[in-house]
Amino acid sequence: MIFSDEELLNPVKQSIEKVRPYLLRDGGDIQIIKIQDGKVYVQLQGACKSCPSSTITLKNKIQHQLQMDIHPEIEVIKVEEE
């Protein structure tokens, strides 16, 4: 990947803002936990947290958007609440 983890933060935030309205409409949201080794660790919140479709949302909406906007190899990993 051509970006450092620090350089990815702003582009990731901008890209996530494109999908956030879909999450909010369904009563959910997303929080970036960290970016490490080109992987974006996120926590789904609200209705998205317990939704059976959350994995599909994560890969088909969020990861796809990041791959289109930033880099095709970027990966999104769901972090569960402790």
- Burial class, 3, CB count within 10 angstroms (exposed 0-12 / middle 13-18 / buried 19+): middle
The pLDDT of residue 26? 86
Per-residue pLDDT in tens (0 to 9) along the chain, 82 residues: 567 888 899 999 999 999 999 889 989 899 999 999 989 999 988 887 777 788 888 888 999 999 999 999 999 999 987 6
The pLDDT of residue 30? 93
Q: Does domain 5-78 have CATH number 3.30.300.130?
A: yes
Tokens of 50: 């317990």
What is the 3-state composition of the chain as percent helix, strand, coil, each rounded to the nearest 5? 50, 25, 25
**Residue 3 and residue 71 in contact, taking contact as beta carbons nearer than 8 Å:** yes
Residue-range domain boundaries for the chain: 5-78
